[in-house]
Every structure is written in C-alpha cells, then in structure tokens.
C-alpha cells in the first residue's frame, strides 16, 4: 500500500497541543483525529470513560460521527461489524465480562476481515464483582485472529490507536485490532499528552477503503455464506497469512509514525529497559512497567544486573524479538496480570507463550512464571525486589526450583 508520507516538512500550524487527559480521553482524541465514522457504546467500567469522552467530543462539535448506544455489548460489536463492512471507520470497546458477552460477534470478526478497532479497558472477570485490572478479558481473543496490543501510558494509547487503524485497515491485513489498557492505572489517570494536529494525522493515516470487499449496491457481493469442511480450512489459512503479514505492516507503520510525529521510534514490538548486560530479565506488559522500572533502577544501584522487557504487541507475537532479547539472559521472569488455571506448570498465559517462543533456541534462559497484580492489586516495589531475587538465585544455580510463584497474595 502506498501512503503519502514523503512530501514537504510539516507546516508550523501543525504543532502538537498538550492536554491533561486520561488514557481513555487520549484514545478519544485519536478517534477525533482519525475522523471516526461510527462508534457504539454500552457502559461498563473502566472502558466507559472512552465512551463518555467520545460523546463529549461529538456534543462539542469536535467530532462528526454516528454514536449508537447499543442494547448490550453483543449488539455493540454487531453494529460496528456491519458498519465496517459498508466502509465506515469504526470503534468500540468493552471490559471484563462485557467483552465476554460480545464474544460471538467478536469471534467472527477476523474471518470477515473487518478492521474494527476496540479498546479493552482491562478488568477482572466478575464474579466476584471487581473493577480492577486483569488481562484475561482481552486475552480471550488470543487465538481468534485479532491483533492485540498493550499500552502503558496515555501518550502511547493515543499513538497506538492511530497506528492500529493504519495497520488494521491496510488491505494486506484487514484484521480487527484490540488495544489493552489497564483499568484505573491507564484508563482513569490524567497525564499530559501531546495531541498532534489533524494535518500530521492525515499524512499518516489514509482513508479506509474496503475496495472490492465493500458491501454496496454498486458492488454486489455476499459476505459470510454458509460453508462446509471443503472451505473452512482454507479460510483459516487466509487469516493465518494475514496475521503473518501484519508483522511487516506494523514495522512500516511505526517507521512512518516516527518520521511524521517524532515519537514511537524504538522497536515496535518490545521495549527494552537496561537489558544490555542483564543477567536476569523481568518481562511483562501494560502499566506494571512503571513500578518494575523503578525497581530495576534500585537493584542496579545495588549492583544487580537486572533488566526489563515490556511486550507491546501480543498478537502477532514477536517471536524473533523475544528470542533475540531474552537469549542473552540467564533467567527470565514473566509477570502475568492474568491466570491460566491448569496450564503447563500452573503458570499464566504470557509465561507459556514466552517459554514456548524460547524453546527452539540452543541455549535458552530459565523461565519463571510470576502471577502478580490480579484484580488490580498494585505491583509494588517490594514485589519487584522479591521477583528479582528469585531470578538472581535461579541465574546463579541454573536450576528452576519452583516454576510458578504467586506474588503479593496473602498467605
């Protein structure tokens, strides 16, 4: 796909504006800049902050979009699915069990190749009634053909929403994309965010064009017919290929984004923090990066070679980067804000993904699963120290004494 990004320098009027806004409001700003067409809403915390922010933009005349309050999360995702099929740029989202309630619509979207953008304001799955952050909600789509990314601060939320549209709507991809945003810590905290100008965004993000796949009277097509075993496997293979291509398209999008906005210049898939000479590496995604970085700096001051890697894209899973970054370490601790009961080693989701990605290496680090911060419990500095100490000991002995630890649980 050709994107017009190489012309004259950005005009002076295109200066960024700085605003004190929450992570959800930052995403709403991205939607405004992306000229969103259709948005559906159904309230559930913590996602609902974004639906309030979008409603406000529309009410203030800053955004001209169709805002539909659905009768349930299921309808919410159905409506945007259809709107996307006729060529509308769409947005929707949910949290926790709301996201699960929409699962039928969510599950079929990738096969239809609809580039829907969704926000999952990460929330524990009730019951017990709980609002706090856990990643199991968004992770439910990990096998279904959704692209899945996690952000760790409000600026990244805004930037990633723009990047996600560009990748999802790329005709080589046409896959839905969900942004995972930690409930409370990201969705509800107000930070100073650079909101770029419309000119810059227009140079980065082309219009959504479904081409021959667009449902339109002038383009008579049928979408999603009934098929049997003669067809399904080939359809799945097409999805697999699209997901494989996403990797390169994501790289292109980040390179362009960096050129135009001057941000997001690093590796699109992982953020490395003090890993160069690290003996042990903590690994995780989302906002737990903040306390972990503080903890890593403290441990470094004490002379421990500890580093941190933050995963930014969970799907497509960046296997080459993971191998490249982690092969140098002696021990890796994967911090999961999720659980996977009964899975290998009774570990958690990310742990088993990382461990599997490392398996083909000749020399590979020991890997430990840390289940931490469930239900939105804070990942504290003490927890970071505790996990690092377990890793340093593992690195020293070269043996995994215990594969999985619950960190910060009372007991």
Q: Report the interface residues with other proteins, using CB under 8 A.
A: 18, 20, 45-46, 127-128, 131-132, 153, 182-185, 188-192, 287-291, 293-294, 297, 376, 378-379, 381, 409-411
* Residue 163: Cβ-neighbour burial (10 angstroms; 0-12, 13-18, 19+): buried
CB of 179 to other proteins, least distance (A): 17
Residue 113 vs 293, nearer CB to other proteins: 293
Nearer residue to other proteins within complex by CB, 220 or 411: 411
Specify the residue, 251 or 385, whose C-beta has the smaller distance to other proteins.
Answer: 385
Q: Where in 5-106 does DSSP place strands (E)? A: 17-22, 38-41, 66-69, 90-94
> Measured from the CB of residue 77, what is the shortest distance to other proteins in angstroms?
24
As measured in angstroms, the least distance from the Cβ of 287 to other proteins is 4
DSSP string, 130-188: --S--SHHHHTTTTTT-EEEE--SHHHHHHHHHHHHHHHTSTTT---EEEEEETTTTTS
75's tokens: 């309808």
Q: Estimate the crossing angle of helix 349-358 against helix 319-326, to 10 degrees.
A: 80
Cβ nearer to other proteins, comparing 256 with 336: 336
The candidate with the shortest Cα–Cα distance to 201, out of 327, 32, 85, is 32
According to DSSP, residue 230 is labeled T
CB-nearer residue toward other proteins: 20 or 227 = 20
The count of other CB atoms within 10 Å of the CB of residue 409 is: 10
Are 79 and 68 contacting, i.e. CB atoms less than 8 angstroms apart?
yes
DSSP helix/strand/coil, 243: helix
What is the enclosing helix (H) or strand (E) of 98?
A: helix 96-101
C-alpha to C-alpha distance for 172 and 308, rounded to whole angstroms = 33
Nearer to other proteins, 149 or 383 (CB): 383
Closest CB to other proteins among 29 and 289?
289
The smaller minimum CB distance to other proteins, of residues 186 and 280, is found at: 186
Q: How far apart are the first and last CA of the chain?
A: 55
Q: Smallest distance from the beta carbon of 90 to other proteins, in angstroms?
A: 28
Please answer whether residues 10 and 199 qualify as being in contact, where contact means their C-beta atoms are separated by less than 8 angstroms.
yes
User: What contacts 342, CB < 8 A, 6 or more positions away?
Assistant: none
Whole-number Cα distances in Å, 310 to 222, 274, 301, 329:
42, 11, 21, 15
Q: Is 107 in a helix, a strand, or coil?
A: helix
Three-state DSSP class for residue 72: coil
CB of 233 to other proteins, least distance (A): 42
- The answer to whether 195 and 213 are in contact (CB under 8 A) is no
Q: CB-wise, 1 or 381, nearer to other proteins?
A: 381
Output the six-digit token pair for 7.
């012309």
- The CB-of-178 to other proteins minimum distance in angstroms stands at 21
* Least Å from the CB of residue 24 to other proteins: 12
Provide, rounded to whole angstroms, the least separation between the CB of residue 371 and other proteins: 12
Least Cβ distance, residue 280 to other proteins (angstroms) = 20
Q: How far is the CB of 122 from other proteins (least distance, A)?
A: 12
- With respect to other proteins, which residue has the nearer C-beta, 273 or 317? 273
CB 379 within 8 Å of CB 373: yes
For residues 308 and 295, what is the distance between their CA atoms, to the nearest angstrom? 10
**311 token code pair:** 């995963």
Nearest to other proteins of 318, 376 (CB atom): 376
CB of 274 to other proteins, least distance (A): 12
CA distance 194 to 400: 44
Structural contact between residues 58 and 64, judged by C-beta atoms closer than 8 angstroms: yes
């Amino acid at each position: 796909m050709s994107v017009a990004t190489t012309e004259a320098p950005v005009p002076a009027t295109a200066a960024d504006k700085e605003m004190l806004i929450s992570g959800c409001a930052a995403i709403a700003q991205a939607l405004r800049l992306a000229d969103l067409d259709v948005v559906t809403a159904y309230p559930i915390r913590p996602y609902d902050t974004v639906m309030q922010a979008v409603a406000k933009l529309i009410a203030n005349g800053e955004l001209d979009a169709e805002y539909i309050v659905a009768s349930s999360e299921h309808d919410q995702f159905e409506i945007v699915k259809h709107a996307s099929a006729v060529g509308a740029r769409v947005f929707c989202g949910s949290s926790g069990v709301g996201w699960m309630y929409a699962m039928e619509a969510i599950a079929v979207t990738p096969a239809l190749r609809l580039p829907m953008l969704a926000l999952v304001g990460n929330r524990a799955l009730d019951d017990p009634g709980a609002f706090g952050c856990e990643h199991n909600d968004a992770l439910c789509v990990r096998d279904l053909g959704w692209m899945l990314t996690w952000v760790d601060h409000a600026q990244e939320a805004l930037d990633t929403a723009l990047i996600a549209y560009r990748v999802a709507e790329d005709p080589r991809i046409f896959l839905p994309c969900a942004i995972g945003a930690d409930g409370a810590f990201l969705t509800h905290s107000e930070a100073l965010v650079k909101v770029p100008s419309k000119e810059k965004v227009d140079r980065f993000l082309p219009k959504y064009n479904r081409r021959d796949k667009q449902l339109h009277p002038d383009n008579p097509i049928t979408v999603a017919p009934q098929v049997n075993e003669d067809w399904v496997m080939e359809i799945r293979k097409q999805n697999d290929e699209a997901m494989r291509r996403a990797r390169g398209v994501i790289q292109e999008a980040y390179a362009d984004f960096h050129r135009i906005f001057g941000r997001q210049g690093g590796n699109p898939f992982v953020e490395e923090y003090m890993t160069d000479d690290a003996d042990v590496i903590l690994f995780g995604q989302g906002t737990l990066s903040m306390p972990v970085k503080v903890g890593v700096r403290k441990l470094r001051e004490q002379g421990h070679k500890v580093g941190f890697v933050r995963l930014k894209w969970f799907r497509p899973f960046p296997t080459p980067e993971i191998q490249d970054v982690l092969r140098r370490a002696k021990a890796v601790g994967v911090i999961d804000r999720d659980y996977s009961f009964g899975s290998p080693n009774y570990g958690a989701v990310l742990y088993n993904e990382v461990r599997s990605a490392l398996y083909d290496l000749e020399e590979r680090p020991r890997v430990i699963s840390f289940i931490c911060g469930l239900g939105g419990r804070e990942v504290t500095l003490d927890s970071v120290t505790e996990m690092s100490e377990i890793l340093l000991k593992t690195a020293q002995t070269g043996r995994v004494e215990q594969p999985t630890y619950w960190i910060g649980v009372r007991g």
